[in-house]
Amino acid sequence: MNAQHFLDLDDRYGAHNYHPLPVVVAEATGTRVTDVDGRTYLDFLAGYSALNFGHRHPDLLAAATEQLGRVTLTSRAFHHDQSGPFCRELAELTGTDRVLPMNSGAEAVESAIKVARLWAHRVKGVPADGAEIVVADANFHGRTTTIVSFATDPTARAAFGPFTPGFTVTRYGDADAVAAAITDRTAAVLVEPIQGEAGVRLPPPDYLPRLRGLCDEHGVLLIADEIQSGLARTGELLACEHDGVRADLYTLGKALGGGILPVSAVVGSDEVLGVLRPGEHGSTFGGNPLACAVGRAVVRLLRTGEFQQRSRELGARMHARLAELTGAAEVRGRGLWAGVDLAPSGPTGRQVCERLAERGVLCKETQQTTLRLAPPLVITEPELDAGLDAVAEVLG
Ligand SMILES: *Cc1c(COP(=O)(O)O)cnc(C)c1O
């Protein structure tokens, strides 16, 4: 079967909610992806950071396989022997008290929103239905109806209303705007410490510290969405660490499932996550035995610090190379994560990605004109150099 057969099937029977490159993947290991025609590519996207440890990392596969031979699902009607250890190990890794396990990233964000509203009502005394959450523009927190209610990307919002009220949008990076948006009813400020989908946009260095200060001053929760930025992608466990900031709640996802299955979580303090009572929130698959076993193996990898260090070292190498590109209008990023704004006179993001694929490198544009580079953190120096050679060839 050649690629066209599978492209036709997707086109005919799948909903058209994505516009993927015409590469049909059949197998993958580490940093390498092989298509149905036997062609091999270097993965420079890593599933938007879901594959921080590469494809099918042996430790993660071993943990999953072991758990597949024991028990995979109990529902939350019963306890199982992976949940408590997973929650403890993830809480210890992140320096938090408690873990609320979920599945997708959007679900983790939804959960954090619900917890913040509950906390505002029960602890802060905000009247029922009155809680407000301050967010940033150009955000990406997922695709549910509530989350797209405060998206500013017109395509993501489109005709999906009516929308969930209770969100105030401020300009990303503008702490004064957040200060002006906070009221007696504000439950939380929800931001990405680095905006991934928006093109790996870093805020000014004083932004997160100032948000922390504002939240402390006004009794407001700081929620950091680290679903893409967290778990070693930027060279630290959490991107907030670069700015010396602790959030009250973190949403984690993507790499938490080790590239094997969807695993997400909200982690935070007793004071906040402790407000949930039985029956108020849940998910059939959230914190299932297989997810917890893989999540525990992910925590073990992260505890070594090896991936954080790889991201720092390889990231420095990558950014040094990217700084020399003549076809880039701007390069941003941290660790092994970069957003490359393409020069307006050159090829479009889509064209660049097509040309990279022809040269055996897979990545994907974001916001049409930005190339997002996020190779798996297991990539070797020669592989990184080879991929960046291809980028330089295409971009100049
Ligand atoms: C990917 C992402 C999400 C949504 O995660 P899904 O698993 O796709 O629902 C939320 N927030 C951020 C910052 C993300 O990058």
DSSP 142-203: -SSHHHHHT---HHHHTT--SPPP-EEEE-TT-HHHHHHH--TTEEEEEE-SSBTTTTSBPP
pLDDT band at 45 (very low <50, low <70, confident <90, very high): very high
Q: Give the residue numbers annotated as catalytic, written as ranges.
A: 140, 225, 254
Alpha carbon of 257 to ligand 1 centroid (Å): 13
Residue 208 tokens, joined: 């997160």
pLDDT digits (tens, 9 = 90+) for 87-103: 999 999 999 999 999 99
Average pLDDT estimate for 28-35? 98
Inter-CA distances, 177 with 54, 131, 203, 222, 361, Å:
39, 18, 13, 15, 40
In tens, the pLDDT along 172-182 reads 999 999 999 99
Provide the 10 A C-beta neighbour count for residue 278. Answer: 7
* Cα distance between residue 246 and residue 241, in whole Å: 7
Distances (CA, A) of 139 to 153, 221, 303, 309, 365: 8, 18, 29, 28, 17
Specify the length of the chain in residues: 396
Res. 338: pLDDT tops 70 = yes
Instruction: Specify the pLDDT at position 270.
Output: 97
Ligand 1 lined by 109 (C-beta under 6 Å): yes
Which residues are paired to 35 by β-bridges?
Answer: 25
- Segment (H or E) for 218: helix 207-218
Confidence label for 251 from pLDDT (cuts 50, 70 and 90): very high
**Tokens coding 312:** 């720092």
Ligand 1 probe mutation, 140, 172, 251, most atoms within 8 A of CB: 140
Which ligand 1 atom sits closest to the C-alpha of 229? 13
Q: Tell me, in angstroms, the distance from the centre of ligand 1 to residue 84's CA.
A: 25
Q: Residues 208-229: what's their mean pLDDT?
A: 98
118 C-alpha to center of ligand 1: Å? 22
Percent of the chain predicted with pLDDT > 70: 100
Reported CATH class of domain 58-303: alpha beta
Please name the residue whose Cα sits nearest to atom 7 of ligand 1: 105
Determine whether the shortest distance from the Cβ of 233 to ligand 1 is under 6 A: no
Q: How confident is the model at residue 386 (pLDDT cuts 50, 70, 90)?
A: very high
Q: How large a percentage of the chain has pLDDT more than 90?
A: 97
DSSP string for residues in 35-91: ETTS-EEEESSGGGGTTTT-BT-HHHHHHHHHHHTT-----TTS--TTHHHHHHHHH
Report, as an integer, the average pLDDT of 202-228. 98
Residue 227 beta carbon below 6 angstroms from any ligand 1 atom: yes
Closest atom of ligand 1 relative to the 103 alpha carbon: 7
The pLDDT of 321-338, averaged and rounded, is: 96
pLDDT (0 to 100) of residue 140: 98
Give residue 106 CA to ligand 1 midpoint distance, Å. 6
Mean pLDDT (whole number) for 110-121: 98
Our mutation pick for probing the ligand 1 site, out of 102, 103, 254, counting the most ligand atoms within 8 A of Cβ, is 254
Q: Is the CB of 110 under 6 A from ligand 1?
A: no
| Other beta carbons less than 10 A from residue 91's beta carbon | 18
What kind and span of H or E run contains 372?
strand 370-373
pLDDT at 396: 80
Residue 349 has pLDDT above 70, yes or no: yes
pLDDT at 125: 98
Return d(Cα 21, Cα 2) in angstroms, integer: 15
**343 touches 328 (CB < 8 A):** yes
Between the CA of 140 and the centroid of ligand 1 the distance, in Å, is 7
Residue spans per domain, the chain = 3-57+306-395, 58-303
Mean per-residue pLDDT, 309-324: 97
Q: Which atom of ligand 1 is nearest to the CA of 254?
A: 7
pLDDT at 296 over 70: yes
Give me the sheet containing 167-170, strands edge to edge.
Answer: 98-102, 264-268, 249-252, 221-225, 186-191, 132-136, 167-170
Over residues 64-89, the pLDDT tens digits come to 999 999 999 999 899 999 999 999 99
Same topology, domains 3-57+306-395 and 58-303? Answer is: no
Q: Calculate mean pLDDT across residues 254-264.
A: 98
Query: Is residue 104 within 6 Å of ligand 1 at its C-beta?
Result: yes
* Fold classified for 3-57+306-395: Aspartate Aminotransferase, domain 1 (3.90.1150)
What's the pLDDT at 158? 87
Check the CA dihedral 151-154-155-157 and report its sign.
positive
- How far are the Cα atoms of 146, 148, 149, 166, 363 from residue 161, in angstroms, in the given order? 9, 9, 7, 14, 32
Ligand 1 center–CA 382 separation, angstroms = 30
Q: Is pLDDT of 1 > 80?
A: no
Nearest Cα residue to 290 out of 56, 53, 83: 83
